[in-house]
Structure 1
Amino acid sequence: MKRHIRNQILNIMVSVKKGLAYFQVSNKYIVLKKCIQALQSVEQLCQSGFSKTRADYYNQDFSVIIDKLSRQLTTQQNIDKFDCDAFIKSLDIISARLSNDKEVKKEIIFLPYKASMWDSLESIWQAAADDKENCDAYVIPIPYCDRNPDGSAAQWHCEADQFPSYVPITDCREYDIAKHRPDVIYIHNPYDGYNRVTSVDSNYYSSELKKYTNMLVYVPYFVVGDTIEAHFCQTPAVINADRVIVQSEEIKRQYEAYYPGGNPPMGKFLALGSPKFDKVLSSKKEDFVLPDNWGKIINGRKTILYNTSLAAMLENSDKVNAKLRYVFSVFKERKDVALWWRPHPLMKATMESMRPEILQEYKQIEQAYINEGWGIYDDTAELDRAITWSDAYYGDMSSVVWLYKVTGKPILIENILEINNKNYVDNNTDIV
């Protein structure tokens, strides 16, 4: 049985007990009639929610109570001497059994919006999905929109078809959160309506979701190094969530220090690690299928993951396109390595919203790279495939660097300002 159905039953029983408690000062006939109707609805809920064995177990007791109340209602003999306390005690006993019944499962839902960010929730979902005896876990991809420069919605998306095949997906239109009132809700979107580039549907803002659960959990969609910027610690989801899962004790300390007012509720931040690290460390090449043309491009060569980030683009927007042309010209000439280019999933949407003046040229460079076919262009949700299959990292400083670092493979951070010298080596380059 789902927990919200069990809770519905318990609430009905509370109403019945209140009715019986006020029996002597109310219209006795109406009270008995309403109590019988309520308990009959409880029988139906047990029948539909429990296994046959457990439904029969509870409904046997309910049938006895309903039968006695019905006889009293029919005969109305000695109604003033009717022993309400005995019925209330019987219902208390049944309520206690229901509260601890092992067939009642915890209902947990996961609300990702970008499939490429699913790795921030996956290992938590997997643990809940594996605990079938105690949990019902649902993955419900939610709609989001790209935003115009004025903040209005440009285009709506739902990426339900982009999740791994082993993840069962529930259509968001078929799951009513207000009705189900899940025990736990996990989210990875921290911004509610304050992201200038994208926005999830307002029904899924953390400020709304907290109305329908007693445990809203936010898990950051990114990882960091040893420090985190203050604004990440002050987003709506951080404030509204009952729990925030962070990657380390040091980052937890910073979240607590940057929290508005500097005094977060006790136990709000939990340093349990990041599912993103779990995913990278557990992934193997055989877990992923490469498109045929990608395999032909690699063809036994060393593969460089080229990652371009939003932060570098926004900070150096006048240099981005020239840098791309330069990098591609270098790697196109190399016969010993293959380039695997993976721009940030929101790169074009961010340009359109915040840097529209460079978007057209960027699209031309991107399309030329794709058409020429000498390198891999990866705009899929599978970041972990790129990390696992590549032999080294080259590109912008971003959260991907911290994920890549745990693999122990080489990392080279690009200098976006250097676009001419092919023999250039930055003294600050970090090679691990």
Structure 2
Amino acid sequence: MRKYQFKQIEKYIELFRKIAEGVYMELSAKNGNLERVNEYLQTCQQKAIELGEFIEKEEGLGHPTVSCLEDFCELLFEINEEILSEKGLAAESAKLRLDSAINKIEKSAGTDITLQKLVIFLPYKASMWDSLESVWKSCKDEPDTTALVIPIPYYDKNPDGSMKEMHYELEEYPEDVPVISCDGFDFEAEHPDEVYIHNPYDDMNYVTSVHPYFYSENIKKWTEKLIYIPYFVLSEPDVSNESVLEQISHYAIAKGVINADEVIVQSDKMKEAYVEVLSRRFGEQTRETWESKIKGSGSPKIERLKALNKQGVEIPEEWQHIVNKPDGTRKKIVLYNTSVVAFLNTEEKMIKKIADTLQVFQENKDDVALLWRPHPLTVATLESMMPELYEAYKAIVEDYKKAGWGIFDESSDLDRALIVSDAYYGDGSSLVQLYEQLEKPIMIQNADVLCGEEE
């Protein structure tokens, strides 16, 4: 039986206790109303029958708790008969007998009914699955727990904020992750005990949006507990720095954070920053709530990256001719990361910077293999917010792919790119924080510097 269903049993037991108290009060009163006692007992018997039918439906016939309820019904009948026969009935005796029977029901329900837990993971982009994977693996191995991965659709947005093309990346998850289509899955009826999300923005994102049905404010209606884990890793914050807190506010004051019952961030320091930002925004009286809700227990992205780094990752066959020299030795692989934020901050300068960078690496392609991995929302961002740059960017990408001297990685497997590369070059995005975990060289690019000048 699921936890939310067991709560119904607890409500019935609470009702039984209130009725028993009502019976006691009437019988112990000087002018107690015996007709009311009779009504109490009949109501209690009807509710006991209802509860028995509910348990049999969920747990099967012959359940021990149903037997306790049958004994309880017999006791209610006996007490009612004693009242009707005018033999008199001591209030203390009636209360003692009723309480004893109710205690047996409660004990049986607690020991003879096994609670089953349903946990659902709702990733929207396969490339961000690493932010949930280690939690899913832990959940699926828990006893009496079903952990389901149900990818959800998302949309690109038009410049006016309206929904455009829908994406559903159901087929892009790792082979060892069994996914279920959200089509036809009855979330309300299943009422999961826990739901994990990694998109906190609901309708607040200018570039993309998950399907409105999966906005955090709606998910809360059909789950006992909503848990948000960021899909990104940020630089560790200096909480005393006001500009840092201002930056963190863009992540902390999101609907998914506010609506979640629990938020898991990358560190205690990040928790401190979130709590400070949220307490300032919603008032000091809310600080205790944020302290309780936000956990600084670490990012699953880092856990997964470290585990894969120990195991090692194979270079795909289609990359081999790019990363290997004619003599069979391997070139140094440089991960080139371009971010959405860099485009927003530098605009056309970023187009020139990418073109310049590609030229430099092409000139050195005999010794260095370039692995270009742009942020997965780059195209959607440019189309929605910077359409004047979209065609120029698209042309650069098409020329790069056609030339074939470097790797263009659009896959959902971010960790593979991090692990197989020997050094990082690119924008100061969250990938830098992940790359630091691998203790490899990192160089941040500057859009104002061209022609391979040192930055």
TM-score by length of 2: 0.81
Q: CA deviation at 1:58?
A: 3.6
Query: Equivalent residues in 2 for 1:216-295 (5 A)?
Result: 216-227=226-237, 229=247, 230-259=249-278, 260=281, 261-262=283-284, 263-264=286-287, 265=289, 266-284=291-309, 288=313, 290-295=315-320
Q: Do the aligned partners of residues 241 and 226 (structure 1) sit closer, same or farther apart at CA in structure 2, a change above 3 Å counting?
A: same
1:117 corresponds, among 128, 138, 141, to 128
- Secondary structure of 1:173's partner? coil
Can you list the C-alpha shifts for 1:26-75, whole angstroms capped at 9, x where unaligned?
Answer: 49778755643442232121129xxxxxx744444455557x499x69xx
How has the CA–CA distance of structure 1 residues 78 and 382 changed in structure 2, closer, same or farther, with 3 Å as cutoff? same
Letter in 1 for 2:296: A
Q: Secondary structure at the match of 1:284?
A: helix
Match of 2:240 in 1: none
Distance in 1 between residues matched to 2:101 and 2:397, nearest whole Å: 71
Q: What is the aligned partner in structure 1 of residue 57 from structure 2?
A: 44
**TM-score normalized by structure 1?**
0.85
- The residue that corresponds to 1:429 in the other structure is none
Q: Which moved more, 1:32-41 or 1:347-356?
A: 32-41
CA RMSD between the two structures: 3.0
Residues 1:374 and 1:170: Cα distance change in structure 2 (over 3 Å): same
For the residues of structure 1 that align with 2:106 and 2:271, how far apart are their CA atoms?
40
Deviation at 1:88, TM superposition (A): 6.5
Inter-partner Cα distance in structure 2 for 1:344 and 1:315: 15
Q: Determine the C-alpha separation between the residues in 1 that align with 2:9 and 2:320.
A: 57
Separation in 2, partners of 1:197, 1:14:
50
2:427–2:444 Cα contact (<8 Å) kept:
yes
Q: Does 1:301 align with 2:331?
A: yes
Question: What letter corresponds to residue 178 of structure 2 in structure 1?
Answer: P
For 1:193, give the aligned amino acid.
D
The alpha-carbon deviation at position 123 of structure 1 amounts to 1.6
* AA of the residue aligned to 2:380: A
Mapped pair 1:172 → 2:186: no
Query: Is it true that 1:184 corresponds to 2:202 in the alignment?
Result: no
Structure of larger gyration radius: 2
Q: State which of 106, 128, 148 in structure 2 corresponds to 1:95.
A: 106
Q: Classify 1:65/1:121 alpha carbon distance in 2 versus 1 (closer, same or farther; 3 Å).
A: same
> Partners in 1 of 2:42 and 2:275 — Cα distance?
58
2:37 aligned to 24, 48, 56, which one?
Answer: 24
Report the Cα offset of residue 391 of structure 1: 0.8
1:198 maps onto 2:217 in alignment: no
What percent identity do the matched residue pairs reach?
Answer: 38
Specify the SS of the correspondent of 1:340: strand
Cα distance in 1 for partners of 2:312, 2:202 equals 34
Look up the equivalent residue of 2:381 and give its one-letter code: T
2: CA distance, partners of 1:285 / 1:295: 22
- Could you report, residue by residue, the CA deviation over 1:212-265 in whole angstroms, capped at 9, with x for unpaired residues? 344322211111113251221211122222222122222222112111225431
Q: How far apart, in 2, do the equivalents of 1:101 and 1:304 lie?
A: 59
Residues 39 and 15 of structure 1: CA distance in aligned 2, closer, same or farther (over 3 Å): farther
Distance 1:166 1:79 in 2: 66
* Distance (Å, rounded) in 2 between the aligned partners of 1:165 and 1:8: 39
Deviation string, structure 1 residues 175-234 (Cα, Å, up to 9, x no partner):
433333333222211111100111112222222223334432221111111325122121
Question: Per the alignment, do residues 275 and 28 of structure 1 end up closer, same or farther by CA in structure 2, a change over 3 Å counting?
Answer: closer
Describe the SS at the equivalent of 2:60. helix
- Matched-pair contact (CA < 8 Å) for 2:4–2:224: no
3-state SS of 2:148 partner: strand
Which amino acid letter does the alignment assign opposite residue 3 of structure 2? R
Count matched residues.
413
Aligned equivalents of 2:432, 2:229: Cα separation in 1:
19
1:184 partner amino acid: E
1:3 is aligned to 3
CA contact (8 A) 1:187 1:217 kept: yes
165-174 vs 229-238, which moves further: 165-174
The equivalent residue for 1:128 is 139
One-letter amino acid of the counterpart of residue 413, structure 1: I
1:26 and 1:173 map into 2 onto residues whose CA distance is: 48
Which residue identity lines up with residue 173 of structure 2 in the other structure? F
Offset at 1:11?
4.2
Give the drift of 1:13.
Answer: 5.4
Q: In the alignment, residue 224 of structure 1 is paired with which amino acid?
A: L
Q: Is 1:323 equivalent to 2:336 in the alignment?
A: no
- Of residues 178-187 and 160-169 in structure 1, the stretch that sits farther from structure 2 once superposed is 178-187
Q: 1:403 aligns with which of 416, 434, 442?
A: 434
**Equivalent in the alignment of 1:430:** none
Report the 3-state secondary structure (helix = DSSP H, G, I; strand = E; otherwise coil) of the residue aligned with 2:431.
helix
Residue 413 of structure 1 is aligned with which of 444, 447, 451? 444
Q: 1:159 to 1:398 in 2, by over 3 A?
A: same
